[in-house]
């Protein structure tokens, strides 16, 4: 929501009732009901326009307990899709406990099915991985998350995994990829990632047209109870700096983020990488999609296991 001139009461562009939200990038304002309708239509447009999934296909929704993924799960339900949630308990102290509690409460209140994976029980709680390997938390965490999204989708027969990445996430990621001219990552940045084999799931981002601000307003208006705290490992992450820079540009030039991301998808990406997309093969260990012979996740587990053996006391190793 943005500040309005004193005495100036904006009206909903659709129904002329008093507006509760102004969207500068779209030069528009909406009342509650019309905003919710606008949000649903943007999601439907993303799903249909990018051929993400059909109404018959069961969708595995990756839910962190934050506003984006809970808003995504909520809107997909309202639009009539068949959804199951997947929550990964990352093992990041109190933050993970709260994330799990909010996700479970959301699923319970709506009677929605929820699958869970516990990183601690799997032997790679993020707090331990970071302590043992000194890898940046976000990179190890991202690797492990992608692995379990693929694994659970395959084991439970889901053809599609939906994540809550929004326009701001996509813009920050695009900016980072452009600043490094990372052609591999640029080629793979897309609202829909097709699988290399039909047994694997496609990855889709139905919120990619909607800003972080819009998903926050949606979550608020739909009374979704989500985790407000950021992951404690996110502080200082370059993504946050990119988001901040983009937000400052957006404040001066509304619509910047939208043009940056949507035009990359609509025009630049296809021209830059037409026919050039390197398809992933499969990891020789876990059999899931990978761009290397042994995937990043299996390499990470190797490193964790080696470090654990390395620090094990002699009394234990000799027994
Ligand atoms: P992030 O990588 O934290 O920006 O999250 C991006 C998206 O990944 C979220 O919108 C979720 O769809 C998914 N995600 C992140 N963390 C989790 C988690 N702990 N469990 C399930 N899905 C997650
Ligand atoms: Fe994975 Fe923060 S959510 S390290
Ligand atoms: Zn692997």
Q: Where are the domains of the chain?
A: 42-279
| Ligand 1 contact, 186 CB (< 6 A) | no
Distance 160 CA to ligand 3 centre (A): 20
* pLDDT at position 274: 66
90 lines ligand 2 (CB under 6 A): yes
Radius of gyration of the chain (CA): 21
Please report the pLDDT score of residue 318 as a whole number.
34
Gap from CA of 219 to ligand 1 centroid (Å): 16
Q: Which two tokens stand for residue 86?
A: 């997947």
Atom 4 of ligand 2, residue of closest alpha carbon: 138
| CA 97 to centroid of ligand 3, rounded, Å | 27
Nearest CA to ligand 2 atom 1: 141
233 Cβ below 6 A of ligand 1: no
112 token code pair: 């929605």
Ligand 1 atom nearest the C-alpha of 62 is: 22
Residues near ligand 3 ion, CB 5 Å cutoff: 283, 285-286, 295, 298
- 309 vs 17: CA distance, rounded Å: 66
Nearest CA to ligand 1 atom 12: 163
* Residue whose C-alpha is closest to residue 231's, from 150, 173, 149, 145: 145
Q: What is the SS3 assignment for 161?
A: strand
Query: Is the CB of residue 67 below 6 angstroms from any atom belonging to ligand 1?
Result: no
* C-alpha to C-alpha distances, 210 to 272, 275, 279, nearest whole angstrom: 25, 29, 28
Q: Looking at residue 245, what is its pLDDT? A: 97
Residue 173 Cβ < 6 Å to ligand 1? no
297 to each of 133, 138, 150, how far by Cα in Å? Answer: 13, 13, 12
User: Phi and psi at residue 136, in whole multiples of 5°?
Assistant: -60, 130
Strand runs labelled E in the chain? 21-23, 28-30, 59-62, 83-89, 114-118, 160-162, 192-193, 202-204, 281-282, 289-290
The domain made up of 42-279 is a member of CATH 3.40.50.620: yes
Nearest residue to 278 (alpha-carbon basis) of 292, 288, 298: 292
**310-314, long-range: CB < 8 A, 24+ apart:** 311/132
CA–CA gap between residue 190 and residue 89 (Å, rounded)? 26
C-alpha of 13 from chain center: 30
Q: Contact 149/216 with Cβ under 8 angstroms?
A: no
Contact (CB, 8 A) for 246 and 174:
no
Q: Which residues fall within 8 angstroms of residue 132, CB to CB, at 6 or more apart?
A: 303, 304, 307, 308, 311
Torsion sign over Cα 20, 26, 28, 31: negative
Structure tokens at 208: 């990619």
Compute φ and ψ for 214, nearest 5 degrees: -65, -40
Counting Cα atoms < 13 Å in the Cβ hemisphere of 153 gives 29
Is any ligand 1 atom within 6 A of the Cβ of residue 90?
yes
Q: What is the pLDDT along the chain (319 residues), one digit of tens a residue?
A: 444 555 678 999 999 999 999 999 889 999 999 999 999 999 999 999 999 999 999 999 999 999 999 999 999 999 999 999 999 999 999 999 999 999 999 999 999 999 999 999 999 999 999 889 878 888 899 999 999 999 999 999 999 999 999 999 999 999 999 999 998 889 889 999 988 788 899 999 999 999 999 999 999 999 999 999 989 988 778 899 999 999 999 999 999 999 999 999 998 887 777 665 667 789 999 999 998 999 999 999 999 999 988 754 343 333 3
Where on the phi/psi map is residue 39: left (φ > 0), alpha (ψ -120 to 50), or beta? alpha
């Amino acid at each position: 929501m943005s500040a309005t001139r004193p005495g100036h009461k904006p009206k909903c562009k659709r129904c002329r009732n008093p507006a509760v939200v102004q969207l500068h990038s779209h030069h528009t304002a909406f009342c509650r009901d019309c905003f919710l309708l606008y949000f649903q239509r943007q999601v439907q447009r993303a799903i249909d326009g990018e051929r993400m999934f059909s109404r018959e296909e069961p969708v595995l929704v990756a839910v962190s307990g934050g506003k984006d993924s809970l808003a995504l799960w909520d809107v997909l339900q309202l639009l009539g899709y068949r959804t199951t949630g997947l929550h990964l308990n990352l093992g990041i102290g109190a933050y993970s406990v709260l994330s799990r509690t909010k996700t479970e409460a959301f699923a319970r209140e709506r009677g929605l099915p929820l699958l869970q994976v516990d990183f601690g029980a799997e032997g790679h709680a993020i707090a331990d991985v970071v302590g043992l390997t000194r890898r940046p938390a976000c990179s190890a965490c991202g690797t492990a998350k992608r692995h379990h999204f693929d694994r659970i989708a395959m084991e439970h027969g889901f053809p599609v995994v939906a994540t809550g990445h929004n326009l701001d996430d996509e813009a920050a990621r695009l900016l980072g990829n452009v600043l490094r001219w990372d052609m591999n990552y640029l080629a793979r940045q897309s609202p829909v990632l097709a699988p290399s084999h039909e047994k694997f799931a496609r990855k889709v981002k139905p919120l990619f047209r909607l800003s972080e601000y819009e998903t926050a307003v949606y979550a608020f208006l739909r009374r979704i109870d989500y985790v407000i705290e950021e992951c404690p490992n996110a502080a200082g992450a370059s993504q946050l700096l990119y988001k901040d820079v983009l937000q400052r540009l957006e404040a001066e030039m509304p619509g910047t983020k939208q043009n940056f991301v949507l035009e990359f998808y609509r025009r630049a990406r296809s021209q830059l990488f037409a026919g050039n997309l390197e398809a992933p093969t499969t990891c020789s260990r876990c059999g899931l999609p990978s761009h290397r012979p042994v995937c990043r996740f299996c390499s990470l587990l190797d490193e964790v296991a080696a470090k654990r053996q390395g620090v094990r006391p002699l009394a234990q190793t000799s027994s």
